[in-house]
Each structure stands twice: as structure tokens, then as C-alpha cells.
Amino acid sequence: MKKLLDIKALLVISITIFSLLTVSAMPLFAEEEKPTADISVSALSKYVWRGQELSRDSIVLQPSVTIGYKGFSANLWGNADTRPYLGSDDNNSVHWTETDFTLGYSRAFGPVTAGIGYIYYGLASLQPGGPDPLDSQEVYASLGLNTLLSPTLTVYKEISHYKQWYFLLGASHTFTLSDKVGLKLAASVSYLKSEDSDDYPKIGSDYEPTGDKYNNFHDGTLTVSLPITPATYLTVTPSLSYVFPLCSDARYEMKWRGLQGVAAESRDSAYLYGGLTLSFTF
């Protein structure tokens, strides 16, 4: 397993370097046909995905590379936990836990932007030496309005091992504070519809699966960030996010899925975390 994780980490680093070299060597295209590239790395105090706690008491590092051309995009993203949580005070080394690959296409139709895509989640155990979960695959479609708050609805459908639908409605707005500094406020709410009572069960107040499928509102997220552009291609963005359950079903489920180490009823169901992202855009 360690060898596989090393390969995944090496793949992300290699593609990052390749992207830099490729973009710098690209011939001059007409403005409307010019390829774009975004290379970033985030250092965050916690990794939370769709309300699921995937790290605790550690810094996570999340490199990302995105190449775009004429509405098409390809992204490679990873997560490294600098101190995996084992329910003890052991000082663990950096552990690569996830590598995701996304292909997408989006196009504007007047005030509306529509998009479709595919995501492959390459998953590893959250703790060194643990069993790796099965990888996941999703397809998605999105519809957004190019107006105030930029409301966008995205529908995700898992198509491999964790059968469920995830509906995400988000809105955001950026206030210009100066030529180089902005203030971005974002919010989202979600709905989770499970198609498998084993993988995404409804959890009762006793923190045990009820035998039913989860079918209810799930997690909400509030984020405030401060994008700062000190140079033409560089953006530095400190951010703070708050993730919380939207109903009692979600609260029980989010606690049940939380990292082990304490009883489910004593785990958190809401998370406040922040960090810093460095992004180079070409």
C-alpha cells in the first residue's frame, strides 16, 4: 500500500511540474483560444468532505493542478495528512490519503452557465497501515446563473461503490476592497439521497444504522475568504469555513461517520477550520 501511495504522490508532483513546463512552452494563440492553467496548494487545519470528518488535530496539504481549454478542463487534486489521527498522541508521519481526477466541460448560454463532468476518487486509508477503501466514481451536472450571488446547483451521482445522489446549491459574492484585495462570502446547502442502506444508511438517535437509506438535507457550509493578488499570476487566499448539519438526521450521520477515538455521541457534527491557499494562474 505504501508503494501505491508513493506513486500517487509522485504522480501529482510530476503533473504539476509538467503543467508548468507545458504552459510556459505553449505557442501564442488567439485570446479566445488560449489554454489556461491553475496550480495551487492549500494548507488547512482540517479536511471535511460533504460533512465527513477526514482529519483531526493536524494540518492537511492539498495540491491541485487544473488545465483548461475552450470550456474543457482537467484537474488533479490530492490530500496529504501531516499527522494522521489514530485516537492517541502518537506522532505520525505525513500520510497521502486521496488522489482525485476530474474531467469537465462548461459553457455559457447568455446568463446561464451549464456544465457536466466526471470525477475519479482514488482513496487510501486515513491511517498508515489501515485497509484502503474502494475507490469512487461520480458524474455530475451543474447549472448556474451569471447574476448577483452566482447561484449554482450541482447534482452528483456516484456510479461505482457508494451509490447515492448529492445535490449542492451554492451562492457566493466577492466584494472588491482594493485593486489587489477582495472579500469573498460563500454559502452552500446540500441534500443526500442514498441508494444503498449499507454505504449511506440513515442513523438513529442511538447512533446505529436504522436499516433505512439516508434521504434528507445534509450539510451546510459558510466560508469567508480574502483573495490577495500581490503579483500578476499569484493569488494568496486565507479562508475560514464552518460546516454544520442541516437536520437531526444529518447530525447523527455526521457524528457516526466521524473519526474513531471517542463514542459517536461525543464526536463533533459541526466543524470550524481555516487555512491558506497559494495559487498560480496562467
Q: For 230-270, how does the pLDDT look when each residue is reduced to its tens digit (9 = 90+)?
A: 999 999 999 999 999 999 999 999 999 988 777 778 889 99
Place of cell 501564442: 28
What's the pTM?
0.86
- Give the model's pLDDT for residue 25: 45
- pLDDT at 263 (0 to 100): 79
- Please report how many Cα atoms fall inside a 13 Å half-sphere around the Cα of residue 175, on the Cβ side: 7
* CA–CA dist 242, 230 (Å, integer): 27
CATH superfamily of 2-281: Nucleoside-specific channel-forming protein, Tsx-like (2.40.230.20)
DSSP codes of every residue in 89-131: ---PPPEEEEEEEEEEEEEEETTEEEEEEEEEEEE--SSTTSP
Exposed / middle / buried, residue 3 (Cβ in 10 Å: 0-12, 13-18, 19+): exposed
Q: How many CB atoms lie within 10 A of CB 30?
A: 6
Provide the mean pLDDT of the chain: 89
66-93 per-position pLDDT tens digit:
999 999 999 999 999 999 987 455 556 7
